[in-house]
Amino acid sequence: MGLIFVFIKPENNLKNNLIKLSLLRKNFYFILNGLYPWSHPLTNKIKLRLLKPINIKYIQISLTYDCQCSCAHCGMSKYNTSQEKLKPRYIYKIINNIVPNGFGQIDFFGGEPLLDENIYQYVKYSSARGIFTHINTNGLKLKEDNVRRLAKSGLRAISISFDSPNPEIHNKNRGINESFQRALIGAQLCIKNGIKTIMSIYSSPNDIVNGQTEELINIAKEYKFDSVRLLGTFKVGNLSSVDDPKYPDKAIKILKKIIKDNPMVKPHGIWKCFVPYRTVAYISPYGDVQPCSMVPFKFGNIGIESFSSILKRMYKHPLYDISEPGCIMNSGMVKKAFYDNADCRKQNLPIPIEQLVFSQEKD
Ligand code: SF4
């Protein structure tokens, strides 16, 4: 999950997909990219600068649902994984389509994206096009040589997930010995190699109230992470059965104070969701297009239809009109259409959007 979730929050007046490149920037970018399509540090940097206004808009590409861990809060645990994965040529095609579709950032997602050995080439290919590249990882594969390869390929940012300030609890939750220590060492290597390094944490109301969230933030500060992405409870994956994902007042009060005292902390999904801003789209390892990695509804498949035509259709759906605060998966509209619909819930994920009936009324 982003920079995913990106670093900058879209403002309200940008809600209708108005984040666009100026004509001047666009022309300059496409001319430069046409003349110098290969990777070169200086041209990569100029292209990145030209695309800066749309860095806020990101495509999440999941390379695999395979992962070494089995985390309690995993949002990907209920996906059907029996289909054939996208071939690398499709991933390069998607990368080529990112900027023409108005996006400036790629989040490589999983499962664990570093299990795909092609990731170094994908990062390099994207960086050569000036695209801001970001990886979400459990940190287990961040060894000296891999991190150096990622930095050399042009990786700009990495989010490493941590479950608890207590290494034993983290390791137990992951089902892997030493996974906390390995992730922390990996983070140090990323910081040393100049990659923007984000600690990604899931904070339940309990974690906030019992001080666990603050302890993790203190570790992030001590080890000089650039920021902390604080994910709220999203009613998906292993957390689908959470009855009321809303945060009680006590947790909200403490959370507000934490954020005020620690500007490096960026909350995600508690007050705001990027989906209604149309700044995110997700492509699964099988080519299914979804609003975001956590929204298990598919609008088409890039093996059958072009990404742009799926995107156009998807962005017109009533799902994008949800105005309740926080993750749209916690909204009343999704509850009625998906969670209260036993037939849909029995199916493999993601569900074709046509099978869900969304009421237009706002809850
Ligand atoms: S639906 Fe919104 S809040 Fe939930 S994970 Fe996706 S972008 Fe984040």
Q: Is 274 a pocket residue for ligand 1 (Cβ < 6 Å)?
A: yes
Q: Is 273 a pocket residue for ligand 1 (Cβ < 6 Å)?
A: yes
Q: What is the mean pLDDT of the chain?
A: 90
Burial class (CB in 10 A: 0-12, 13-18, 19+), 79: buried
Whole-number pLDDT of residue 16: 53
Residue reference for tokens 């892997």: 176
> Where residue 12 falls among pLDDT bands split at 50, 70, 90?
very low
Beta partners for residue 300, in sequence order? 289
The pairing of strands 351-352 and 300-301 is unpaired
Q: Is the CB of residue 44 less than 8 Å from the CB of residue 127?
A: yes
What pLDDT digit, counting tens, does each position of 281-325 carry?
A: 999 999 999 999 999 999 999 999 999 999 999 999 999 999 999
Q: pLDDT at residue 216 above 70?
A: yes
Q: Is 6 a pocket residue for ligand 1 (Cβ < 6 Å)?
A: no
Q: When comparing pLDDT for 17 and 286, which is higher? A: 286
Whole-number pLDDT of residue 243: 78
How far is the centre of ligand 1, averaged over its atoms, from the C-alpha of 275 (Å)? 6
In the 8-state DSSP scheme, what is residue 84?
Answer: P
Question: Whose C-alpha lies nearest to ligand 1, atom 4?
Answer: 327
CA–CA dist 192, 187 (Å, integer): 9
Q: When comparing pLDDT for 261 and 237, which is higher? A: 261
End-to-end CA distance of the chain: 26
User: Which is the closest atom of ligand 1 to the Cα of 269?
Assistant: 3
CA–CA dist 83, 198 (Å, integer): 32
* Most ligand 1 atoms within 8 A of CB, residue of 294, 315, 322, 334 to mutate: 294
Nearest Cα to Cα of residue 259 among 307, 318, 214 = 214
Rounded to an integer, the average pLDDT of 212-238 is 94
User: Which is the closest atom of ligand 1 to the Cα of 328?
Assistant: 1
In the 8-state DSSP scheme, what is residue 349?
Answer: B
Q: Is 254 a pocket residue for ligand 1 (Cβ < 6 Å)?
A: no
Rounded to an integer, the average pLDDT of 140-145 is 97
Rounded to an integer, the average pLDDT of 48-65 is 95
Query: Which positions ≥6 away from 152 have C-beta within 8 Å?
Result: none
Q: pLDDT at residue 99 above 60?
A: yes
Structure tokens at 270: 């508690």
The structure's pTM equals 0.91
User: Which is the closest atom of ligand 1 to the Cα of 1?
Assistant: 5
What pLDDT digit, counting tens, does each position of 151-190 carry?
A: 999 999 999 999 999 999 999 999 899 999 999 999 999 9
Q: Is 328 a pocket residue for ligand 1 (Cβ < 6 Å)?
A: yes
Q: pLDDT at residue 36 above 60?
A: yes
Instruction: Say what percent of the chain tops pLDDT 70.
Output: 92
How far is the centre of ligand 1, averaged over its atoms, from the C-alpha of 269 (Å)? 6
Structure tokens at 301: 């498949």
> Where residue 344 falls among pLDDT bands split at 50, 70, 90?
confident
C-alpha distances out from residue 260 to 165, 263, 327, Å: 21, 6, 22
Residue reference for tokens 């993601």: 350
Beta partners for residue 123, in sequence order? none
